[in-house]
Structure 1
C-alpha cells in the first residue's frame, strides 16, 4: 500500500514537472517567434556595427541564427505546436478531459503567449542572444521536418527579404529622430536639415540651384578695366566673374578677381588682355551630385548652365490657365515638372528669367570632358567663340549654390545684403 502511494506520488510530481516544462517551453518558443522574427537582418547588422557594446555582442550571436528566417520560423512553430499538443495529454492523467482542456488553454494563453511575448517584445535581443545556442540545437533536431517546409516557403515567398528604407522613408525617419519631434531623438535641427538636404540632392538638377543669367553679374570681354568697372567688381564681392562675348547669354570664360590686383585702373587694360579661364558648360538637367563631384576636382568652382534649343517646344507665356503670366506652363497647360518640386527660394530664382521651354535636353555625358575643364582661354590665335544657335546660357552655378541646396539655407558672405531678423 505504501509502495503504491509512493508510486502515485512520484508519478504525480513527474506529470507536474513535465507540464511545467511544456508550458515554459511553449512560452519560450512563442516569445522567440515574436522577438527574433520581428528583428530584420538590416536592424541586426546595424546594431552589430554601430550599437552599444552590449547590443553588438547580442546582435553578433543572433545574426547567424536569423539569416535563414524561414528555417528558424518553422523550427520555432513546430516546437511550439508540439509542446501545446502534448500538454493536454499529461494533464489528462491528473484530471478529467474537460478540466485538462480548460487548464491547458489557460496556462498556454497566460504563460505561453501573453507573458513571454510581452517580455520578448521588449528584451528580445538579450533573450535571443542568451538562448541562441539552444535554438541552434532545436534547428538541427527539427531539421528533417522544418527544412523541406522552409525550402517551400523560400520558393513561394522568396529566400530573403531585406527591409531597406526608401529615400522618402529614410527622410521621415531622420525627422522623427530629431529632438524637435519630441520623441527622445538626439539629432539637432541642423543635423536633420543637412541629412534631408543630402537625400534630396539626388533629385535636384543644375536648373534648381543656378543663378539665372538675368541676375548674374558678368562683364564684356571687350570692356576696359577702368576705375568704374574695377569699383563695380569690388562692390559685387565675387571671387570669380563670368565673361561674355557680344551677348550676356554667350558666356565664354571667367576671370579670377585676385588676378586683377596688379592692374591699375588708370591703365584701362582691356578685359581680353587679362587671364581668362575657360568655364565648364553643363546641361540644365545635370544632377547636382555630378556637379559637386566635378567641383571637388578643383578645375573650377563655377559653371555655366546651358539650355539646348533643339529639344525645346515653344510655349505660351503670355496666357496661362490660371491667368498668372509668371507661371510657366507646358504644352498640356500644367505647371512645369521642375516648378512642382522647387522650394520658394528656388522658384523665385527660376522665374526671374524668361521662359524658354520644356527641360528635355539630355546630355551626352554626365561628366565634363577634358577640353572644357577650367584652363586659360587662348584668344590671341583663336577666334572668340560665338553664340551657338542651338543653345544658350540660362544661368550660372557655383560651389556655393550646390552647398546651399545641401544645407537648405542661404550662405551669406560679407558683401551680401540681407535682412537681419536678430
Structure 2
C-alpha cells in the first residue's frame, strides 16, 4: 500500500512538472512568434551593420533563423499548438475535466500568451538571440510537417521580400528622428532638413528651382562694354552673365565676369568680341538630380531652361508632341518664396528630353561660341526659354535654405 502511494505521489509530481514545462514551452513559442516575426530583415541587417556592439551580436545570431520566415512561423505555431493540446491531457489526471479546462485556459492565457508576448515585445532581440540554437533544433524536428506548409504559403502568398521604406515614409522616419520631434532622436534640424531635401530632389524639376527669364539679368551680344554696362555688371555681382541675341528669351551663351577684368571701359569693346561660352539648354521637366549630376561634370554651372512646345509638322499638318513628361501637381519650390532670384550657368541638349534617362552627350560641352563668319542662333520654333538655373539654385533646393553671398540683400517682409 505504501509503495502504491509513493508511486502515485511521484506520478503526481511528474505530471505537475510536465504541466509546468508545457505552459512555459507554449509561452516561449508564443513569445517568439511575436518577437521574431516582428523583426524585419531590414531592421536586423541595419542592426548587424551599424548597431551597438551588443545589438550587432544579437542580430547576427537571429538573421540565419528568420531568413525563411514562413518556415520559422510554421515551426513556432506547430510547437505552440502541440503544447497547448497536450496540456489538458496531463491535467485530466490531476483534476476533473471541467477543472482541467479552466486551469489550462487560465495558465495558457496568463503564462502562455500575455506575459511571454509582453516580455518578447520589449526584449525580443535579446531573447531571440539567446534561444536561436534551440529554435534551429525545433526547425529540424518539425521540418517534415513545417516545410510543406511553408512552401504552400510561399506559393499562395509569395516568398518573403525585403520591405523597404518608400521615399515619403523614409522622409517621415527621418523627421521623427529629429531632436525637435521630442522622441529622443539625435538628428539636428539642419540634418533632417538636408536629408529631406535630398529625398525631394528627385521629385523636383528644373522649373521648380529656376529663375524666370523676366527676373534674369542678361546683356545683349551687340552691346558695348562701356563704363555704364561694366558698372551694372559689377553692381549685380554675378560670376556669369547670360548673353542674348535680339530678344532676352534667345539666350545664346554666357560671359565669365572674370574674363572682363582686363577690359578697359574706355575702349567700349562689343560684347561679341569677348569670349562667349556656350550655355546648355535643359527641359523644364528634367529632375534636379540629373541637373546636379551634369553640373558635377564641370561642363557648366549654368543652363537655360526651355519649355518645349507642340510643333506642327508642315508636311502632315499633324501636331507632334515634342515632350510630354509633365507632372501633375508641382511641389512647393523654395524659389517661389524668394524675394530675389539668383542664377548662374549649363550644356545645351536642344533635344526633346526623356525625363530621367536623357543625359548630356560629350558634344554638348560648354565650349567657346564661334561667332565670326557665322549667323547667330535664334530661338527654335519648338523651344521657348523660360528661365535660368544654376548650381546654386540646385544646392539651395537640396539644403532647403537660402545661400547668401556678399552681394545679396536681405529683405525683411515682417
Q: Tell me, yes or no, whether TM beats 0.5.
A: yes
- Deviation of 1:370 after TM superposition, in Å, equals 2.6
CA distance in structure 1 between the aligned counterparts of 2:236 and 2:329, rounded to whole angstroms: 29
Alignment-derived partner of residue 409 in structure 1 = 401
Q: What is the rounded CA distance, in whole Å, between the counterparts of 1:385 and 1:105 in structure 2?
A: 87
Aligned partner of 2:336 among 333, 339, 346: 346
Is 1:376 the counterpart of 2:371 in the alignment?
no
Correspondence 1:286 to 2:286: yes
Structure 1: 5+ residue runs without aligned partners? 313-335, 351-360
**Residue of structure 1 equivalent to 2:271:** 271
Q: What whole-Å deviation, never above 9, does each CA across 1:156-212 have from its counterpart, x for those lacking one?
A: 111113222111111111111111111111111111111111111111111111001
Aligned to 1:396: 388
Q: Where does 1:62-211 land on structure 2 (aligned, <5 Å)?
A: 62-211=62-211
Helix, strand or coil at the partner of 2:310: coil
- What is the SS of the residue equivalent to 1:168? helix
Considering only aligned residues, what root-mean-square deviation do their CA atoms show, in Å? Answer: 2.1
1:337 Cα deviation from its structure 2 partner? 5.9
Question: Counterparts of 2:352 and 2:169 in 1: how far apart (Å)?
Answer: 29
- Give the number of aligned pairs: 389
Q: Which runs of 5+ in 2 are unaligned?
A: 313-325, 341-350
CA shift for structure 1 position 387:
2.2
409, 412, 419: which one pairs with 2:411? 419
* TM-score, normalization by structure 1: 0.88
Aligned-residue offset at 1:392: 2.3
CA drift at 1:348: 7.2
Give the match for residue 358 of structure 1: none
Cα pair distance change 1:344/1:260, threshold 3 Å: closer
Given the superposition, is the C-alpha separation of residues 374 and 344 from structure 1 closer, same or farther in structure 2, using an over 3 Å criterion? Answer: closer
After alignment, is 336-345 or 292-301 more displaced? 336-345
Residues 343-370 of structure 1 show CA distances to partners (whole Å, capped at 9, x for unaligned) of 47427799xxxxxxxxxx9515621223
Structure 1 position 110, deviation (Å): 0.8
Cα contact 2:209–2:333 (8 A) shared by 1: no
Q: Which deviates more from structure 2 when the two are superposed, residues 405-414 or residues 288-297?
A: 405-414
Once the two structures are superposed, what CA deviation does each residue of 1:266-324 show, in whole Å capped at 9, x if it has no partner?
11111111111111111111111100000000110000111223269xxxxxxxxxxxx
Instruction: Tell me by how many angstroms 1:382 deviates.
Output: 2.7
Q: Does 1:53 align with 2:53?
A: yes
In the TM superposition, residue 89 of structure 1 has moved relative to its aligned partner by: 1.0
SS in 2 for 1:253: strand
Worse-superposed segment, 116-125 or 9-18: 9-18
Is the partner of 2:286 in helix, strand or coil?
coil
* 1:389 Cα deviation after fit: 2.3
